[in-house]
Amino acid sequence: MAVANFRKAAMIGCGFVGSASVYSLMQGSVFSEIVLIDANKDKAEGEALDISHGLPFAKPMKIYAGDYPDLADAGLIIISAGANQKPGETRLDLVKKNTAIFKSIIPQIVKYNKDAILLVVANPVDILTQVALKLSGFPKNRVLGSGTTLDSARFKYLLGQHLGVDARSVHAFIIGEHGDSEIAAWSSANVSGVPIHKFCEMRGYTDHDAETTRIAEEVKNSAYEIIKKKGATYYGIGMSVRRICEAIVRDEKSILPVSTYIEGKYGLDGVCLSMPTIVGADGVDTLIPYELSEQELAQLHKSADTLKSVLKDAGI
Ligand SMILES: NC(=O)c1ccc[n+]([C@@H]2O[C@H](COP(=O)([O-])OP(=O)(O)OC[C@H]3O[C@@H](n4cnc5c(N)ncnc54)[C@H](O)[C@@H]3O)[C@@H](O)[C@H]2O)c1
């Protein structure tokens, strides 16, 4: 296997999510080169120009519109191409449309590059990660989805606001599907080692059932609310993409809730979903044995079943 060139990334799909992600990657100087590919060539060219005009205020790098042959020497290929949710539409409603798009994109990737890491961002992200894995034939560690990285960021943000503490000091994960069956893993949530309920009590909150339900619902409904108000979500996911890319490029071995193919862990098999995972230069390193309560484990199985029935209905 060739050594991955982490100086270069590709973004396939340059809509709201693709362009916000590239903008964030540019600001973080994560790569020296990013090629933008979109079915709408003008869109890719326009975004490449617009984002490049910020370079004098950042660090030198090449950002340009290209085509599939430009993937040949990219170490990381990010896929955000696909329709987004319309108001009232669930992520799972997008399955048919976006699976068809992936059937046109993945063979093109494989034609020019068999060594890259694939990062799937388009929705429904867990299903499409599994589609990308199947169609590419890449090893499981090299195909991952952004999963619940964004949901977990929303969770930390809301908990930080609620508890009057830096969101970076909150250690908490949303697990399972990036979608309606996702689970807030409260039992292991903590603020720098202080169990979450204890920290809540320190701040004067004692009605745990009401507060946890409210916050978990708010996380789950964030995308619906933003889409209703402004049509699409893209800044939060742009930062999430950057965070995952940094972990890979710098071989950080960071623990992130990315969507990966689960085999024999947590009693699950044959489905892509998010659990806290060590992420580094090989993509997925390993899942960590995250502590879940019995109820959370049961919810995780339910979430996996939801995804499996979608996979089955879609013939994946
Ligand atoms: N994973 C997450 O947390 C998360 C968050 C927000 C949005 N999303 C998803 O990201 C996807 C993109 O959302 P968006 O708001 O950027 O949509 P958008 O409509 O703004 O952009 C989609 C882009 O994909 C391009 N495209 C379509 N078919 C293509 C093909 N075959 N090849 C190349 N390009 C193609 C379109 O031309 C368009 O520019 C959606 O599926 C959305 O649901 C995921």
Has residue 198 got a pLDDT over 70? yes
Residue 2's pLDDT is 54
In Å, how far are 144, 150, 280, 285, 305 from 252, measured between CA atoms? 16, 19, 5, 11, 32
Give the rounded percent of residues in the chain with a pLDDT score beyond 90: 92
User: What pLDDT is attached to residue 305?
Assistant: 97
Enumerate the CATH 3.40.50.720 domain ranges in the chain, comma separated: 3-143
Side chain identity, residue 101: I
Phi, psi at residue 10, to the nearest 5°? -125, 145
CA of 141 to the centre of ligand 1 (A): 24
Which whole-number Å values give the CA distances from 150 to 112, 220, 234, 258, 271, in the listed order? 30, 11, 10, 10, 20
For the chain, the straight-line distance linking the first and the last C-alpha, in angstroms and rounded, comes to: 28
Structure tokens at 191: 């603020």
Mean pLDDT of the chain: 96
What ligand 1 atom has the least distance to the C-alpha of 19? 16
Q: Which residue's C-alpha comes closest to atom 1 of ligand 1?
A: 121
Q: Is residue 292's pLDDT more than 90?
A: yes
* Site to substitute for ligand 1 among 17, 24, 243, most atoms within 8 A of C-beta: 17
Evaluate if pTM is beyond 0.75: yes
Ligand 1: nearest atom to the Cα of 147 = 1
Does the annotation list 290 as a binding residue?
no
Q: Are the C-beta atoms of residues 14 and 51 closer than 8 Å to each other?
A: no
User: How confident is the model at residue 251, as a pLDDT?
Assistant: 97
83 among annotated binding-site residues: yes
203 annotated ligand binder: no
286 burial type by CB count under 10 A (0-12 exposed, 13-18 middle, 19+ buried): middle
Mean pLDDT of 206-217: 95
Q: What is the pLDDT of residue 88?
A: 79
Mutation probe of ligand 1 site: the residue of 67, 71, 80 with most atoms within 8 A of C-beta: 80
Q: What is the average pLDDT across 270-284? A: 98
Contact 143, 78 (CB under 8 A): no
Using DSSP's 3-state secondary structure scheme, residue 274 falls into strand
What is the location of CATH 3.90.110.10 in the chain?
147-312
Digit-coded pLDDT (tens) for 111-145: 999 999 999 999 999 999 999 999 999 999 999 99
276 alpha carbon – ligand 1 mean position (Å): 25
Q: Which of 92-101, 108-117, 221-230, 237-246 has the lowest mean pLDDT?
A: 92-101
Q: Is the pLDDT of residue 241 over 90?
A: yes
- pLDDT (tens digit, 9 = 90+) per residue, 86-111? 777 777 778 989 999 999 999 999 99
Residue 105 Cα to ligand 1 middle (Å): 13
Residue 1 has pLDDT above 80, yes or no: no
Residue type at position 96: K
Contact 66, 36 (CB under 8 A): yes
CA atoms of 179 and 181, how far apart (whole Å): 6
pLDDT at 3: 61
Ligand 1 cavity residues, CB under 6 Å:
12-18, 38-40, 43, 80-85, 94, 98, 101, 104-105, 121-123, 125, 146, 150, 178, 232-234, 237
Would you name the residues annotated as active-site residues?
Answer: 178
Is the pLDDT at 315 greater than 80? The verdict is yes
Annotated binding residue at 154?
Answer: yes
Q: Among the atoms of ligand 1, which is closest to the Cα of residue 240?
A: 3
Superfamily of 3-143 according to CATH? NAD(P)-binding Rossmann-like Domain (3.40.50.720)
Percent of the chain with pLDDT over 70: 99
pLDDT score recorded for residue 81: 98
- 272 pLDDT higher than 80: yes
Examine the pLDDT at 288 and tell me if it is beyond 70: yes
The CATH architecture assigned to 147-312 reads: Alpha-Beta Complex (3.90)
